[in-house]
Amino acid sequence: MKGKLLGVLVAVLLLTIVFSGCQEDTKEPIENNKTHIEIATDFMNKLQQKKYDISYKYFNNEMKNSLPLSQLKSTWEYFILTYGDFNDINETIQTLIEGYEVVYVNCTFNNNYLLIFRIVFDADKKIAGFWQDNAILLSTYNAPNYVNTQNFSEMNLTIGASHWELPATLSIPHGTESFPCVILVHGSGPNDRDETIGPNKPFKDIAWGLASKGIAVLRYDKRTKIYPEEIATNINFTLKEELVDDVLSAIDFLYVQSYIPIKNIIVIGHSLGGMMIPRIVSLDDMIDGCILMAAPARSLEDLILSQILYLSNFDGVIDESEQENIDFIEEQVDKIKTLNITENEKVLTTYKSYWQYLADYNQVDSAKNVIIPLFFLQGKRDYQVTFEDDFLIWQDELSDQSLISFQTYDSLNHLFMAGEGDPNNTEYMIENHVHHNVIDDIINWIDQL
């Protein structure tokens, strides 16, 4: 979504639970003489009061088709489970974007979070769009023990093509010698440069951990975070524009910058970013090595369905609403696999071109043609990209190639953070850090290039 219909682009953190609607309440019709801010505030207050049927009346017909009443209910309940009870609205901001009135509603939640919601109105003052733009933990980043901030400095800069400029940070080790330089490539969704998820910042952990040991790191905000409106309406948008093009721009930037002398360039891709590494390598011969962290071997649509099934059955029971959600996702997946999608139709929040691009790409077969070192890392507690269904495929298909290495971690999840018990998405909301063994293994592998 990075477009980001509430529930965040399908991807490796699929938060939305879709199921069919409840009965609508006939009370409290919308008063059209209210301002957009008043309507937005009323809408959020009704959600706070769990009056979902009344909140639903604020949607126009197109929005109702995109976000069923039951999905609105389940998504809001997910927010409460993850971020705590909704406390208050502390700010509303109204603006005009491409002819639409938009109200940003900043809300505080009990678990010390500020969530920013974006509500878009049509000409009749009906809600035509409802997104969660950001979740901000109201506390500071605590660096892990393996970080020594005395060993490096950071520079904020801009990378990317002129129309798609992206804010970025370059972590520069102290010293005058040449350095290995790493580019970090995000997973799915509208990620910032730290790949922030709740209180966790896995890319910042990696960048600071590597920079503490003499490895420069470039990380940047993802295009889908910086340009969501342009992307949401672009029917030709694919993973090339979402991810690949900006990695190539980052490589070009490193070779013309004057801040540090470069020894070699390594690309680290996490999740969807790891999945696209073989395609990226095929397009740029300046890359000296790549690390694939929790890289899917399966198709994106199969990952989505697998995650829905896992989370729906997490308590051992699939109730009626969860089954309806599964049925809906299965229908969407079938559309993707057959490409039975009309030109202006969105399936799992994206247009046909997105799925066509992926249908024409097989990451495992492409990796067989890569002639630079690859290093695959996988946490065995990862329920999103799994050891059994993804890592073993990579290993079985590529283990006979001398330039490819593999490493697993028994206790680590999709963020390469330690945990116990059956993994689920709520553990991402607990402050943690990329495990020091992962940082050490990355450093040792880069040192051997």
Containing H/E element for 290?
strand 289-293
- Which of 181, 176, 167, 172 is CA-nearest to residue 154? 172
The catalytic residue among 271, 299, 306, 312 is 271
Task: Give CA separation, 90 vs 39, 86, 93, 106, 115, in Å.
Answer: 16, 11, 10, 6, 10
Count of beta carbons in the 10 Å neighbourhood of residue 189: 23
SS3 185: strand
Decide if 36 is catalytic. Answer: no
In angstroms, rounded to a whole number, what is the distance separating the alpha carbons of residues 294 and 305?
17
How far CA 207 is from CA of 109, 184, 384, in Å, comes to: 30, 8, 23
CA-to-CA separations, 421 to 5, 127, 351, in angstroms, rounded:
31, 41, 37
DSSP 366-398: HHTT--S-EEEEEETT-SSS-IIIIIHHHHHHH
CA distances from 93 to 88, 106, 171 (A): 15, 9, 34
To the nearest 10°, report the CA torsion of 360, 166, 200, 280.
Answer: 30
DSSP state of 399: T
- CA separation for the pair 148, 286 (Å, rounded): 30
Q: For residue 247, give the 3-state DSSP assignment.
A: helix
Catalytic residue among 270, 414, 433, 435: 414
Known catalytic membership, residue 382: yes
Residue 421 class from Cβ within 10 Å (0-12 exposed, 13-18 middle, 19+ buried)? exposed
Say how far apart CA 406 and CA 353 lie, in whole Å: 33
Question: In terms of DSSP H, where are the helices of 26-98?
Answer: 36-48, 52-56, 61-66, 69-83
Q: How far apart are CA 327 and CA 159, in angstroms?
A: 42
| Annotated catalytic residue within 382, 390, 433, 435 | 382
The one-letter code for the residue type at 213 is: K
Q: Specify the 3-state DSSP secondary structure of 426.
A: helix
The distance in angstroms from the start CA to the end CA of the chain is 36
Of 115, 40, 42, 111, nearest to 81 (Cα)? 111
For the annotated catalytic residues, the residue numbers are 271, 382, 414
